[in-house]
Each structure stands twice: as structure tokens, then as C-alpha cells.
């Protein structure tokens, strides 16, 4: 499990989990779970283009940029979920076209959806580390504006942070995280690592910073546990990530419910 060829997998999966947990907090806080699901799947054309000889990182980054631009532009005339859906189906159609031009796409499609977390090469560590650093820096710089715009768009605009610009920057961060994580953990795992831990953390803590850090910790624990269980059982990593994400959310909701019950004031007994 901790042999030399597995160390790259542990390092990269840890970086991806931490970034996904931190970004996922704002995904849940801002109600942007559909966008977080659509953007990873919307990079499908980038992965498909790599089968035609296009550099994989450039292809994924280009598809992520198209997804962010499409959602941002269409959201001006449509509701956010409609704009996201229209952008997603357009990108999926483009990816299907690219796949039709290649005769060797089966393995690439599987890697796109489920990743290759147990087969990560040393050449992937540095790019993931650099993109992780960029995503973390963006989250730190935009921490207050992201919180403020999630609570009140009007107040955010008064404070000099236009909601439209904040939405664009936020989607760019999600797209950056997607481009970083997709080659190694797949579109389905990115979504699970973003939404599951963050939902559990939000249920356990109402304070933004502790909840965000807790989300990253839960995502990291999920990634480690999933890799270990996959190695021992030879079952897919995605199965364990999805199952543990659902379990974490259930535990979070249970914790929240017990906390509310524990803080309810006791009624004094009536006087006879």
C-alpha cells in the first residue's frame, strides 16, 4: 500500500482532496452544486481532444474555460441552473464529436469518469501541486468577498464586490480545481469530494472558517480511506468515495440534530 509506486498516488490524492474540500465549502454555501457537477463533466471535450493528440492539461483547461464562460454569459439571460444545463449539453455534444474521430477512446472515457488515482506518475505531482497552490491562493484572497456575496448580493455590491464578478471568479476556481483533479480522480470523484465533505461540515459547524477546514479534513480522510480500501479489496476507488461521502453527510446531519436537541431549553415542571 505504501510502496514506492503508490507514493505519488497518496501525495496527489491528498492535494486534490484538500483543495476540493475547501472549494466545496463555498460550492455548498452558494448553492452551486449543479455547477460543481456540470463543470467536471463539461471538461469531457478536453479529455476527448487529448485522444486526438492535444495536450491533456491544455485540453482540460480549455474546456473548463469554455464551461465557465458559457455559464457566466448565459446566466445573464437565463436562470443559473438553465445556463449551466445548456452549457453542459453543448460541451458533452462537442466531446462526443471528438470521440467519434478516435478509435481508441474506451480507456480515456473510463479515466475521465473514474480517474486513475492508483496509477499516477511522478510527472503529474508538480503540475497538481502548482495548480493546488493557485487554487488555495485564490480561495484565501477571495474568502471575504465569497462569503459576503453568498449572504447578501446587495451588501456585496455596496462593499465594492459586484456579485457578477464574484460569480465569475468563483466558477473559475471551480474550473481550475476540476482541471487539476480530473486526470487523477475523475469527474465523479471530484463532485463527491466537493459536495459530500462540505455538506457534512456545514451541518456540524455554523462558523465559516471552522466549517471550511473541517470540510478539507473530511475530504482528506475520505480520500485516504478510499485508497486504502480500494487497494485491499480491489474494488473501484469511486465506490468508496461515494459511499463515504454519503456516510459523512448522514453523520453530519445526525450530529446537527443531536446538538439541537441538546440545546433545547428544558421546560420546568408545572406547579401542582
Tell me which residue of 54, 130, 43 sits closest to 88, measured CA to CA: 43
Other CB atoms closer than 10 Å to residue 240's CB: what's the count?
21
> CA 63 → CA 45, 71, 195, 212, 252, distances in Å?
6, 12, 22, 28, 34
The per-residue pLDDT string of the chain (272 residues; one tens digit each, 9 = 90 and over) reads 666 667 888 888 899 899 999 999 999 988 888 877 788 777 777 766 666 666 666 777 788 888 888 888 877 776 777 888 888 888 878 877 777 776 655 566 666 666 666 667 777 788 888 888 988 999 999 998 888 888 777 777 777 778 788 888 888 888 888 777 776 667 667 778 888 899 999 989 889 999 999 999 999 999 899 888 888 888 878 788 888 988 998 998 888 888 777 666 555 454 44
CA angle 233, 234, 237 (to 5 degrees): 95
Q: Rounded to whole angstroms, how far apart are CA atoms 25 and 215?
A: 7
Specify the DSSP class assigned to residue 269: P
Question: What is the model's pTM?
Answer: 0.82
Tell me which residue of 56, 48, 14, 21 sits closest to 36, measured CA to CA: 21
Q: Rounded to whole angstroms, how far apart are CA atoms 95 and 10?
A: 30
Tell me which residue of 34, 15, 14 sits closest to 174, measured CA to CA: 34
First to last CA, the chain: 68
Q: Are 18 and 142 in contact (CB under 8 A)?
A: no
Domain ranges of the chain: 4-190
Q: Rounded to whole angstroms, how far apart are CA atoms 5 and 196?
A: 29
Cell of 21: 474540500
Cell of 217: 479534513
Q: Determine the distance from the C-alpha atom of residue 85 to the mean position of all C-alpha atoms in its chain, rounded to a whole number.
A: 17
We find that the CATH architecture of domain 4-190 is Orthogonal Bundle (1.10)
Q: Rounded to whole angstroms, how far apart are CA atoms 272 and 266?
A: 18
Amino acid at each position: 500500500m505504501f510502496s514506492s509506486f503508490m507514493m505519488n498516488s497518496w501525495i496527489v490524492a491528498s492535494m486534490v482532496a484538500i483543495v476540493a474540500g475547501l472549494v466545496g465549502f463555498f460550492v455548498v454555501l452558494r448553492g452551486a452544486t449543479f455547477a460543481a457537477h456540470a463543470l467536471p463533466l463539461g471538461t469531457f471535450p478536453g479529455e476527448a481532444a487529448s485522444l486526438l493528440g492535444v495536450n491533456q492539461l491544455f485540453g482540460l483547461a480549455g474546456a473548463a474555460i469554455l464551461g465557465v464562460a458559457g455559464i457566466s454569459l448565459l446566466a445573464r439571460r437565463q436562470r443559473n441552473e438553465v445556463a449551466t444545463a445548456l452549457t453542459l449539453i453543448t460541451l458533452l455534444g462537442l466531446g462526443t464529436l471528438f470521440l467519434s474521430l478516435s478509435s481508441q477512446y474506451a480507456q480515456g472515457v473510463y479515466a475521465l469518469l473514474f480517474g486513475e488515482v492508483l496509477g499516477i506518475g511522478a510527472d503529474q505531482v508538480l503540475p497538481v501541486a502548482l495548480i493546488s497552490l493557485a487554487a488555495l491562493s485564490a480561495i484565501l484572497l477571495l474568502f471575504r468577498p465569497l462569503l459576503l456575496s453568498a449572504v447578501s448580493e446587495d451588501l456585496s455590491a455596496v462593499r465594492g464586490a459586484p456579485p457578477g464578478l464574484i460569480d465569475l471568479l468563483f466558477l473559475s476556481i471551480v474550473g481550475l480545481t476540476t482541471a487539476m483533479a480530473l486526470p487523477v480522480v475523475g469527474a465523479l470523484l471530484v463532485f463527491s469530494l466537493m459536495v459530500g465533505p462540505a455538506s457534512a461540515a456545514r451541518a456540524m459547524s455554523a462558523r465559516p472558517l471552522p466549517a471550511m477546514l473541517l470540510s478539507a479534513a473530511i475530504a482528506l480522510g475520505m480520500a485516504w480511506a478510499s485508497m486504502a480500501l480500494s487497494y485491499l479489496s480491489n474494488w473501484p476507488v469511486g465506490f468508496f468515495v461515494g459511499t463515504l461521502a454519503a456516510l459523512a453527510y448522514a453523520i453530519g446531519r445526525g450530529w446537527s440534530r443531536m446538538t439541537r436537541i441538546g440545546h433545547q431549553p428544558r421546560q420546568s415542571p408545572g406547579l401542582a
